[in-house]
């Protein structure tokens, strides 16, 4: 399943829905495969929380009541992605999981960040034009 993350695609709302859901499922899969050590489980729970909330925040943004609300929710999703990247980095340091698994997920974090940043920039530009 994790290999599917390497597919590059255009920015499309349906694609972001699919990718954020797939990303969450891959985070869940990684978490379930973590060693049962205390450190791995503590970091894993943090990763699980932040990694699965990205898609939820994106879905909330799609139902925003205003452009400002959309921007706020998208920036929340961006914060969760940044946090997810941090937990992945920490899990990769002591070789808790394979570097390949970590790198594929970190690459997807970066791609999702790029896509969400582009959406936020567009929304901010449109907001300025509408005023």
pLDDT tens string, the chain, 131 residues long: the values are 343 343 333 456 568 999 999 999 999 999 999 999 999 999 999 999 999 999 999 999 999 999 999 999 999 999 999 999 999 999 998 777 888 889 999 999 999 999 999 999 999 998 777 65
- The secondary structure element, H or E, covering residue 75 is helix 67-92
In a domain, 82, yes or no: yes
In a domain, 18, yes or no: yes
pTM, 2 dp? 0.85
In a domain, 3, yes or no: no
In a domain, 114, yes or no: yes
Q: Which residue range is the domain that position 74 belongs to?
A: 12-130
In a domain, 6, yes or no: no
Domains in the chain, number: 1
| CATH number, domain with residue 29 | 1.20.1440.60
In a domain, 2, yes or no: no
Backbone angles phi, psi at 95, to 5 degrees: 60, 40
Angle at alpha carbon of residue 38, lines to 33 and 42, rounded to 5° = 75
SS3 of 18, please?
helix
In a domain, 1, yes or no: no
CA gap 111, 109 in Å, rounded: 6
């Amino acid at each position: 399943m994790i290999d599917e993350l390497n597919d590059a695609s255009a920015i499309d709302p349906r694609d972001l829905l699919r990718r954020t859901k797939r990303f969450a499922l891959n985070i869940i899969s990684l978490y379930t495969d973590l060693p049962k050590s205390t450190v791995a489980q503590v970091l894993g729970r943090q990763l699980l929380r932040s990694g699965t909330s990205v898609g939820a925040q994106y879905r909330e943004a799609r139902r925003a009541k205003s452009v400002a609300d959309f921007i706020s929710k998208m920036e929340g999703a961006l914060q969760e992605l940044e946090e997810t990247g941090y937990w992945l980095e920490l899990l990769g340091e002591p070789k808790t999981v394979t570097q390949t698994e970590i790198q594929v997920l970190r690459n997807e974090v970066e791609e999702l960040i790029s896509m969400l940043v582009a959406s936020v920039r567009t929304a901010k530009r449109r907001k300025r034009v509408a005023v």
